């Protein structure tokens, strides 16, 4: 059965956009004094049309120039984001890892209070796949979140390859333990659990992922605290539809429709409902279920 709305592991919670922006703002403020001109770096790469070997040499030269400082970490983060935007998740992972190493090295000598400003206070040593240099180091929560997304997408691109999937799961579990109030983390876990369990990819079949129940429990737990979380309700409706529970899926879409209409009445929808992508999606899905006579 086809899904009504494709889910993306890069999808961020709409209700948590302000948290993401705040985390990024804190990071950028800390790097502002010695900021690298990232736009120029990207222009150099594009204009030179470098092959992979030349690109590696250029990246090494740039990092040698800026040194093992927060500037180097910020540069690696920027390069990683560029690869992510181009859907090159494997290269993105390399630079996220480098950014973690470089950013962690720059925290030496700082007070605990200073380290905690805009950063996660403590990383967990229970993640054996990270470089030993990262153990017991202070790192950036937003950076780890994006790294988890990179691992998840890399795994998905390979038919839910188990090692990368496991790393993504561990990252989001660790972030959930650190900040239980940030629903982005269990939300991404739910997407990973569900999609890898229903996928027909080679690795998924071989591993036999059976985490649909885990995914549904995570979604329900988020909605218990955030009943108006539209992104999470979309995920639940989509999950139910893929499981053949079209009647329950239809009810969820009706709930989403009502929630968005309430947002509009409160003046929280810019441009009106006719220009709101989420509202138009839910209307199309409701109509599709109705016209297909799939209610059961």
Q: Is residue 10 in some structural domain?
A: no
Residue 93 located in a structural domain: yes
The verdict on 191 and 46 lying in the same domain is: yes
Structure confidence at residue 141 (pLDDT): 77
Clarify whether residues 166 and 192 are in a common domain: yes
- Residues paired with residue 139 on neighbouring β-strands, in sequence order: 120
- In the block, residue with structure tokens 């950028």: 28
Q: What confidence category does residue 188 fall into, taking pLDDT thresholds of 50, 70 and 90?
A: very high
CA distances from 73 to 178, 262, 267 (A): 22, 43, 40
Do 172 and 146 lie in one domain? The reply is yes
Assess whether 99 and 22 both reside in one domain.
yes
For position 39, what pLDDT does the model report? 58
Mean pLDDT of 19-40: 44
pLDDT in the model for residue 18: 36
Q: Quick check: is 12 in a domain?
A: no
- Residues 206 and 86 occupy one common structural domain: yes
Tell me, yes or no, whether 46 lies in a domain. Answer: yes
Q: Quick one: 221 and 242 in the same domain?
A: no
If DSSP codes are grouped into helix, strand and coil, which group holds residue 223?
helix
Within this chain, do residues 138 and 55 fall inside the same structural domain, yes or no?
A: yes
> For residue 40, is it within any domain?
yes
Q: Is residue 194 part of a domain?
A: yes
Q: Which of 226, 247, 262 is the last residue of a domain?
A: 226
User: Which is more confidently placed, 89 or 188?
Assistant: 188
Query: What is the tally of structural domains in the chain?
Result: 2
Domain coverage including residue 70: 18-110+123-226
Last residue in a domain, options 181, 203, 226 = 226
Residue after which a domain boundary falls, among 193, 226, 259: 226
Residues 193 and 61 in one domain: yes
User: Do both 192 and 232 map to the same domain?
Assistant: no
pLDDT digits (tens, 9 = 90+) for 194-243: 999 988 766 766 667 889 999 999 999 999 999 999 999 999 999 999 99
Q: What is the pLDDT of residue 105?
A: 59
CATH number for the domain spanning 139: value is 1.25.40.10
The tokens for 266 are 């409160």
The answer to whether residues 191 and 98 belong to one domain is yes
CA-based end-to-end distance of the chain: 14
Q: Is residue 4 part of a domain?
A: no
DSSP-derived secondary structure letter, 133: G
33-75 pLDDT tens trace: 334 455 555 554 554 454 556 556 656 655 565 555 556 666 6
> Are 262 and 163 part of one and the same domain?
no
pTM for this prediction? 0.61
Residue 157: what pLDDT?
Answer: 77
**What pLDDT does residue 212 have?**
95
pLDDT in tens, 261-279: 999 999 998 888 999 999 9
One-letter-per-residue 3-state SS of 13-34: CHHHHHHHHHHHHHHHHHHHHH
Query: Tens digit of pLDDT for each residue in 95-154?
Result: 666 666 666 555 555 444 444 332 322 222 223 333 332 443 455 677 788 778 878 887
- Per the domain annotation, does 220 fall within a domain? yes
What pLDDT does 56 receive? 63
Q: Are residues 247 and 175 in the same domain?
A: no
Rounded Cα distance between 186 and 215, Å, is 9
């Amino acid at each position: 059965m086809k899904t009504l709305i494709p889910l993306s592991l890069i999808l961020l919670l709409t209700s948590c956009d302000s948290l993401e922006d705040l985390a990024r703002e804190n990071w950028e403020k800390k790097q502002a004094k010695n900021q690298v001109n990232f736009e120029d770096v990207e222009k150099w790469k594009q204009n030179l049309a470098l092959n992979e070997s030349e690109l590696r040499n250029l990246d090494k030269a740039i990092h040698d120039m800026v040194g093992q400082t927060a500037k180097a970490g910020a540069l690696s983060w920027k390069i990683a984001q560029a690869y992510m935007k181009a859907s090159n998740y494997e290269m993105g992972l390399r630079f996220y890892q480098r950014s973690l190493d470089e950013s962690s090295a720059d925290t030496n000598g700082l007070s605990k209070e200073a380290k905690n400003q805009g950063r996660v206070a403590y990383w967990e040593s229970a993640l054996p796949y990270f470089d030993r240099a990262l153990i017991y180091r202070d790192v950036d929560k937003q950076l780890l979140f994006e790294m988890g997304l990179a691992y998840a997408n890399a795994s998905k691109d390979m038919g839910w390859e188990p090692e990368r999937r496991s790393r993504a799961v561990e990252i989001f579990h660790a972030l959930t333990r650190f900040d239980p109030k940030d629903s982005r983390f269990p939300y991404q876990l739910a997407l990973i659990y569900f999609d890898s369990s229903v996928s027909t990819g080679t690795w998924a079949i071989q591993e036999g992922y059976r985490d649909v129940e885990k995914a549904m429990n995570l979604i329900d737990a988020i909605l218990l605290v955030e009943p108006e979380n539209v992104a999470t309700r979309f995920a639940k409706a989509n999950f139910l539809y893929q499981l053949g529970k079209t009647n329950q899926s239809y009810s969820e879409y009706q709930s989403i429709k009502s929630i968005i209409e309430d947002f509009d009445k409160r003046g929280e929808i810019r441009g009106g409902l006719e220009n709101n992508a989420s509202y138009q999606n839910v209307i199309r899905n409701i109509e599709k279920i109705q016209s297909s006579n799939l209610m059961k």
